[in-house]
Structure 1
């Protein structure tokens, strides 16, 4: 098997693991805090911090996963109405621009994380270094930028199809395939 595919599969599994557990932690902290307040009139001091960390992790680590699956937010009204050639050009151009923006954000967020690290700040409840909370921001931007470059590349490589993500064809093309396959039954 291709070494890049092995690394990609590994990154996908790590992303799925991190996202799954971040969502579970968010749910446990929010529900646990509400139940604790209602039943015992006590709120654990760490609940808000743990929730905040899990939200940051889920948000920024989810960039790459959403790009891979073609589930990222898009303004697609004009795109959906465009002919194939225009959609194909946009499917190459938009991921390229998005990747560039994400790489710039990676740089600036890494500078910010380094500033927080240098400051020696710690979180109020857990007393852990604050940069632990923010380290996932540049990692998420970097992985997202790489994934958008992959999306661009797959659209260059496959000339006859449009891909929204490396794992997702354009739904306009899928509908046409389904209609075409249905006529051959």
Structure 2
């Protein structure tokens, strides 16, 4: 179990590194391109392509990070109003279904990446193999699926609390406990 925790921490650090630098690269490319275009009347031919790669990397590698931190997009109006037992069931069911969907998407995106690789396509400006751009899509889906399975598992294992992510307890439970504490 300790080995899994070490691997998990390494994956977290790699995700944080990739996401941080992807956002920095996006900012540098977009701002740099605008400044150079306005200053010199010249546009960097590779800036759009590098930005596109960074956006794809940040988007798909961010799936796992958002699931881990409980910061994924959710429509929680009914969930927030639901009693604890309903939220607990949903906190197991929703991540489980999300994991299945992500694994299926990961499978099909991996097939697409292999197809792009076999085609020999290269990017226009950098002339690098096009599948380098797309390889992060199945990786992100797969890691996101694992995180959602972990979210479901932590909710199965911990019966007294609801977790939105492996690192994030449900804020509804915290508010309820705070209110109960004031009435004592």
In structure 1, C-alpha distance between the alignment counterparts of 2:181 and 2:4, rounded to whole Å: 33
SS in 2 for 1:144: helix
TM-score, with structure 2 as normaliser = 0.97
Deviations 1:29-63 (A, max 9, x none): 00000001110010010000000000000000000
**C-alpha distance in 2, partners of 1:73/1:107?**
22
CA distance in 1, matches of 2:10, 2:171: 27
SS at match of 1:164: strand
CA drift at 1:175: 1.3
Write out aligned runs for 1:1-185 (5 A).
2-181=2-181
Q: Secondary structure, in 3 states, of the residue corresponding to 1:176?
A: helix
TM-score by length of 1: 0.97
Deviation at 1:81, TM superposition (A): 0.6
Listed as ranges, the gaps of 5+ residues in structure 2 are none
- Distance in 1 (CA, whole Å) between partners of 2:178 and 2:50 is 45
- The alignment's C-alpha RMSD in Å is 1.2
Q: Secondary structure at the match of 1:126?
A: coil
Residue 174 of structure 1 and its aligned partner are, at CA, apart by 1.4
Q: C-alpha offsets along residues 73-109 of structure 1, whole Å, 9 cap, x if unaligned?
A: 0000000111000000000000000000000000000
